[in-house]
Each structure stands twice: as C-alpha cells, then as structure tokens.
Structure 1
C-alpha cells in the first residue's frame, strides 16, 4: 500500500519529477548505455546527485529503475536507452527492505 497524496503534494511531486526527468534526459542524450539498454547506476546516481538527491533521500537504482523520496512524495520510474518514465506516488507503508521508502515490497507475509 502506498500513502495517498493530496492535490498539493501531487503538484509538488510533479515539479520534482520534471527536474528529475530533465537530469535523466541528459544521461540518455550522452548515450553509452550498456546491456539491455540500461545505463550504469553511477551515471544515474550522479544525475540525481546534481539535484541534491542522495542516500538521505532514499535513492534506489537498479537495472534502469530509479526512485527518490523528496521528503513529501516519491518520484520513481525507468531510464534506459529506449525509455524514460516518471511516476509520482506516495511512500510505501512497507517498502522493500534496504531500498528506501519508494520501492514496493515484493515479499509476502
């Protein structure tokens, strides 16, 4: 389950998502994707770091997927040679352990 967002939080998240998208477009524009069209995690992390996003923001990157917690909302998506997606959503009540608040728990109870 994800936390629900107010209209104000959704708007704030949309503004953050635009900033994230712009930085990740720069990664794609430089090219150099690897296996399966994904970019090195270090390159994605560096793009997010330029926005001031680091471990304290629950940044998680894996196989072209990324997520960032802005302190209010999550901005998640996928960045590969062929696609760039962004999604604004609430933090997960029970996120995947070790990934930050924005990654869905794939385990079971």
Structure 2
C-alpha cells in the first residue's frame, strides 16, 4: 500500500524526478551498458550521488531499476540503454526488506 500524495507533494516529486532524469540521461548518453542494456549499479549510484542522494535517501538500485526517497515522495523507474522512466509515488507502508521505502514488497506472509 502506497502513501497518498497531495498536489503540493506530487509537484515537489515531479521537480525531483526531473533532476534525477537529467542525471540519469547523462549515464545513457555516455553509453557502455552491459547485459540486457542495463548500466552498472555504480554508474547509476554515482549519478544520483551528484544530486546528493545516497543510502540516507533510501536509494535502491538493481538490474536497471532505481528508487529514491526525497524525504517527501518516492521517485522510481528504470534506466537502460533503451529507456529512462520515472514515477512519482508515496512510500510503501511495508516496503521490500532491505530496499528502502520506495520498493513494493513482493513477498507474502
């Protein structure tokens, strides 16, 4: 279950998503994707770090997927050779363990 977003929070999230997309687009422009068109996690982490995003922001990166908690909202998406996406959403009440607040729990009880 995701937290709901007010219009103001969504607008803040969209502004953050724009900054994140800009840095991740630089990664794509530099090329060098690996298997399945996925860029190395270190390159994605470095791009997010240029914006000041680190583990304290619930950053999670895996297999082309990224998520960041801005302190207000989550920005999640994919960065591969063929696509760059982002979604602004609320944090999950029960996120996937070990991934930060922005990754949906895919497990069960």
TM-score per shorter chain, which class?
over 0.9
CA distance in 1, matches of 2:76, 2:68: 6
Q: Distance in 2 between matches of 1:35 and 1:48?
A: 21
Where does residue 71 of structure 2 map in the other structure? 71
Show CA shifts across 1:53-106 (max 9, x none): 000000000000000000000000000000000000000000000000000001
- The reply on whether 1:100 has 2:100 as its aligned counterpart is yes
How many residues are treated as equivalent by the alignment? 109
Unmatched runs of 5 consecutive residues or more in structure 2: none
Q: How far apart, CA to CA, are the structure 2 residues paired with 1:90 and 1:51?
A: 20
Offset at 1:51? Answer: 0.2
Q: What is the rounded CA distance, in whole Å, between the counterparts of 1:19 and 1:76 in structure 2?
A: 13
Unaligned 5+ segments in structure 1 are none
Deviating above 2 A after TM superposition, structure 1's stretches of 4 or more consecutive aligned residues are: none
- 3-state SS in 2 of match to 1:23: helix
In 1: Cα distance, 2:103 partner to 2:62 partner = 11
